[in-house]
Structure 1
Amino acid sequence: MGGVPDVVVDYSAANDLKRQVSERLRHEMRSNPDLVGAVREQRGRALINEGVALWADAKAMEHGVAVSPAEEAALAELVFALQFRAGRLQRYLDDSRVENILINGHDQVWLDFGDSKRVLAEPVADSEEELKELLRDLARNSGQSERTLSTADPFLALRLADGSRLQAMTGVTDDKTYVTIRRHRLRGTDLPGLVKLGTLDERLRQFLAAAVKAERNIMVAGEQAAGKTFLLRALLREIHPDERFGTIETEFELWAHKNGFHRQVVPMEARESNGERVDGKSAGEITLLDLLNRALRMTLTRVVVGEVRGPEITALMQALTSGRGGNLATLHAISPSVVFDRIAELYLQARGNFSEQLAYRQIANGLHLLVYVSMDDRTHLGGRRQRWISHVWEITGLGPDGRPAYNELFGPDPGGELRAVPRTPPSPQTLQRLERAGFPAHLLHTSGWTPEMVR
């Protein structure tokens, strides 16, 4: 595994050296305010090398055997990781194959390797207190208070330096600390890359690319970990590099403002409260709803919401019905058939005189396409984890029952293909927009319907 040393490392010595270096740095920073950032790390590296050399001399004198250069180097790297990175956890963060890191107490670390099974890995701490100390260090290095994971504050949510999302809790479970880290693999993917992975075929790739260019409002839905954000990142690559749009997220996961492709992205990230309340409101809190309301006043061509999960749905649907189109968002749903009701549930949870009928009407008026991502996880049976687009619906207005009506443009093949294949022709208006955006409709001639069927 990448980053795992081939020699045995003395973890106790590493923790002792980390504390010594940390104390030295704190002392030196009092008299040298410029000791920050890369300068601080450089000074830390020098102190670590000095400490490891002294440790090696002491160990050689004690046992009469010299410490190998490889053992010294491995110890120095671990101390550096403890002080400036993620400690013993860093080796798993450095492994590009790892998708999720699940920690169930200090003695159980499980790794999800993309499309393969979950495996038990080496611990990242030797005790619960050491694990909580590691998490507090991560919180402090990310700019948050280190006074967390206590009786008063048993939860921790933060973004690591590589963009991974960490969620931890303690004191509300049993006597263990539980940590979940979701990593963002293949952050720079695009639709052709998803074709290579088997998520969709070439016909659907060109269809979705044209839908984004044609400024269709698209909702990407699916179960948890099905790959909704992954697909949304790929769809964003179909937006022109100089188009000015905004991304709105609880935590940055789309990275459109750092993908080296787009030049006019306005990234917005929600912020949790600092714990205080002023006039009955959480001080310092900025919600997705707050950001959406502001984004609609910034003359953006479109807004992209990383995940809709609360009252911000009302502002999003207003954006879908009032703007020029091209907005995108994701939503959790166990099947495409429940998406409309999920949106209605979020409407009813929001404040104001919102109703199920209003939600259905705004879906019918503002949402153009629903793209559903499915996942088949057979890792518990010794198989693989596979993800693919299984459905694409075109919203066609309100049906006679007052619910949104739709055409299933792409869906699972009754013959057994679970990945979406063309099923029903789109409306003439939709097809015309897609063709103007470059969609070659002749690709679908062999799918059971042709463009002439809708003209």
Structure 2
Amino acid sequence: MDYRAAQEIKKLVLERLRKESSSRTPLSQQAKEQRGRHLINEQVAIWSDTQGLSTGGAVSQGAEQELAALAFDMCFRAGRLQRYLDSELVEDIWIEGFERVFLKYSGQRDPVRVARVADSEEELQETVRDLIRASGQGGRTFSTYSPDVELRLPDGSRLQALGPDITGGSTHVTIRRHRYLDVDLGKLVGLGMLGEDAADLLAAAVRGRFNVMVAGEQASGKTTMLRALLREIRPSERFGTLETTFEGLADPAYHEHVVPMEARQSNGERIGGAAAGEITLMDLMLRAKRMSLSRVVVGEVRGPEITAMMQAMTSDRPGNMCTIHASEPGAVFDRIAELYLLAQANFTPELAYRQIANGLHLVAFLSVDDSGEAPRRYLSHIWEITGIAHDGRPAHNEIFGPADGIDGPAVPKGALSDVKRRRLERAGMTSSLLSDQALAYLNRRPM
């Protein structure tokens, strides 16, 4: 494949489209791609004639089609990356400088090194800028002044790029794929991520307007779980989703009145000490209060927005949900307290603990077991928050937990408080966590 020829065709075609758009009514994206394909074919024909004259032989039709397809991907899709994005088996793409590209396949633990997607650092950085342009998120930049960017690709994948000013010499790009966009709790049960009893409880918790936090390790399936929980919200209910980068939490074809909100990065400039053009999750939390929403769902809390999230759980209508990174269930409360301290100097862990006790109802924790040939993601704990303990920390009941008390998929471990149980049963929970089987397990009695 003549990658240099594809790059040159891309530049000629985009420049032609830019000039045409300035002198006529702007084309729709579909029409622009159709026009671009026509211009690409013209340029490929010119290239083919030139190659034939220089080599003394005709260029095959297959070579022309491959060059045209690559030039089209460079203009309107993900360039040389597209072949990897087109594979449903690829979970993650790691680019560590222009010469090192690795794919993480579903069902495999170790990454596989593959062909490069750029021939220089400059071309790799240009590829990132092309992806920004193709994604329609023009407010984001990738340059010396803004050497990192988080981006949503058209297929829903999430890209994070770090420039050499951050990494010390080479551009690093990570692309995380979302294999399960159309998912519900039943599908997760079928995949072995959780059992039917736990799914029944979580479904009733959403319908019964419990405040739920999905916590877990990195890449443990928190977003997938949150996406499944949203399917338990009535299609006609009006709620909002707040995300750093859109990951398709709610399906607008299913939820009729979802209000999606996305944070925006600064353009790299600062005005009066503030980042110009930046819209944070905290900003979005404040805007959400004026949108007549029945509940708020935050894709991931990882900064000062935790305070607004917990305030929503304690002062607004219940039913709010979010995800948070934590290494183990016992670290969730301290993780929230840590974010409180980062949010404002006069906030204290005691304040965070009170907010948790007063506003949070359930914590669902997800774990990853990568000891086998393929990583296994599963629900390992469900905790019911029951107030403040004697030591001032949030008190909880472990409703589900690992069978051995250390790690592993969640099994019934304890009883819900009477009030929450009645609320869940009213919301449709049918399984009994105090069945003979559960009692026998809890009392260590043989069945």
> TM-score with structure 2 length normalisation?
0.92
- The residue that corresponds to 1:420 in the other structure is 410
The runs of 4+ residues in structure 1 deviating greater than 6 Å are: none
Out of 177, 180, 203, which is 1:186 matched to?
180
Alignment partners' CA distance in 2, 1:326 and 1:89: 40
Query: How far did residue 26 of structure 1 move?
Result: 2.9
**Selected match of 1:154 from 137, 141, 147:** 147
- Give the aligned length: 438
Task: Work out the percentage of aligned pairs sharing the same amino acid.
Answer: 55
The whole-number CA distance in structure 1 between the counterparts of 2:15 and 2:338 is 52
Q: Aligned runs of 1:7-406 on 2, under 5 Å?
A: 9-35=1-27, 37-117=29-109, 118-141=111-134, 142-144=136-138, 148-150=142-144, 152-172=145-165, 173-258=167-252, 260-351=253-344, 353-378=346-371, 383-406=373-396
Output the CA distance in 2 between the equivalents of 1:82 and 1:209.
Answer: 43
* Contact persistence 1:268–1:291 (CA under 8 A): yes
CA distance in 1, matches of 2:239, 2:27: 38
Cα separation, 1, equivalents of 2:434 and 2:378 = 19
- Does the CA-based 8 Å contact 1:203-1:444 persist in structure 2? no
Q: CA deviation at 1:12?
A: 2.1
> Is the Cα–Cα contact under 8 Å of residues 149 and 160 in structure 2 kept in the other structure?
yes
Q: Which runs of 5+ in 1 are unaligned?
A: 1-8
How far off is 1:299 after superposition?
2.9
Report Cα offsets for 1:99-150 as digits up to 9, x if no partner.
1111011111111113313111111111222111211222233343687333
For the structure 1 residues 186 and 128, does the alpha-carbon distance in structure 2 shift closer, same or farther, using more than 3 Å as the test?
Answer: same
CA distance in 1, matches of 2:33, 2:158: 24
Cα distance, 1:234 vs structure 2: 0.3
Note the C-alpha offset of 1:257.
Answer: 4.7
Contact 1:116 1:384 in 2 (8 A): yes
8 Å Cα contact 1:25/1:44 also seen in 2: yes
Deviations 1:377-432 (A, max 9, x none): 237xxx11110000000011111111111110000002898110000111111111
CA contact (8 A) 2:380 2:407 kept: no
RMSD after superposition: 2.1
Is the 1:425–1:449 Cα contact (8 Å) retained in structure 2? no
Contact 1:232 1:254 in 2 (8 A): no
Answer whether contact 1:221 1:333 (CA < 8 A) is retained. yes
State the shift of 1:311 in Å.
1.3
CA separation of 1:42/1:417 partners in 2, compared to 1, >3 Å: closer, same or farther?
same
Rounded to whole Å, the distance in 2 between the matches of 1:239 and 1:145 is 32
Structure 1 residue 272, shift from structure 2 partner: 1.8
CA distance in 2, matches of 1:210, 1:289: 29
Could you tell which deviates more after superposition, 419-428 or 263-272?
Answer: 263-272
Query: Cα gap change, 1:241/1:49 in structure 2, threshold over 3 Å: closer, same or farther?
Result: same
Label 1:421 to 1:432 Cα distance change in 2 as closer, same or farther (>3 A).
Answer: same
Post-superposition CA distance 1:15-38 (Å, at most 9, x none): 222222223323333433434522
Stretch moving more, 357-366 or 65-74: 65-74
CA 1:373–1:417 in 2, change beyond 3 Å: closer, same or farther? closer
Q: What is the CA deviation profile of residues 281-306 of structure 1, one whole-angstrom value per residue up to 9, with x for unaligned ones?
A: 22322211121122233332211111
CA distance in 2, matches of 1:13, 1:443: 65
> Which sections of structure 2, spanning at least 5 residues, go unmatched?
none
CA distance in 2, matches of 1:293, 1:147: 26
Contact map agreement 1:248 1:268 (CA 8 A) in 2: yes
